[in-house]
């Protein structure tokens, strides 16, 4: 099944994580990266972008990279972002910038935090 795109034009992180794992798992039976991506239904450029993101994150924060490399880790992180968004912006009337600050201070990385938080609204 092709990878779905969110309303903001980005790929759903959980679905992307699942598709990435499927492409990696098919490496033993299908040596061609292009063929594996076609088989799973993910654009090769999307797969390569995700691989690059994971490699950069692995260098910056190996523990966070390990957590977010699985669909379950992505779902946990999304729950944390949604909870922060609810409490900080809706109940506390502070705004998305405070959600980004919360996620940075929690060690979730500025680029991921500020990319994810605006999509919650």
Give the position of tokens 């935090």.
Answer: 113
Q: What is the pLDDT of residues 33-86, one digit of tens each?
A: 999 999 888 889 988 988 898 888 888 888 878 887 888 888 888 888 888 888
Question: What are the tokens at 102?
Answer: 């919360």
The whole-number pLDDT of residue 25 equals 87
pTM for the model stands at 0.59
d(CA 17, CA 69): 7
Give the position of tokens 């794992």.
Answer: 21
């Amino acid at each position: 099944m092709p990878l779905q795109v969110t309303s903001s034009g980005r790929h759903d992180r959980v679905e992307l994580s699942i598709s990435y794992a499927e492409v990696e798992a098919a490496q033993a039976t299908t040596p061609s990266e292009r063929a594996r991506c076609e088989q799973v239904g993910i654009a090769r450029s999307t797969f390569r972008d995700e691989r690059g993101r994971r490699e950069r994150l692995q260098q910056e924060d190996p523990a966070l990279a390990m957590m977010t490399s699985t669909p379950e880790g992505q779902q946990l992180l999304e729950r944390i972002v949604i909870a922060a968004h609810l409490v900080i912006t809706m109940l506390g009337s502070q705004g998305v910038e405070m959600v980004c600050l919360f996620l940075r201070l929690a060690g979730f990385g500025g680029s991921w935090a500020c990319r994810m938080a605006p999509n919650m609204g």
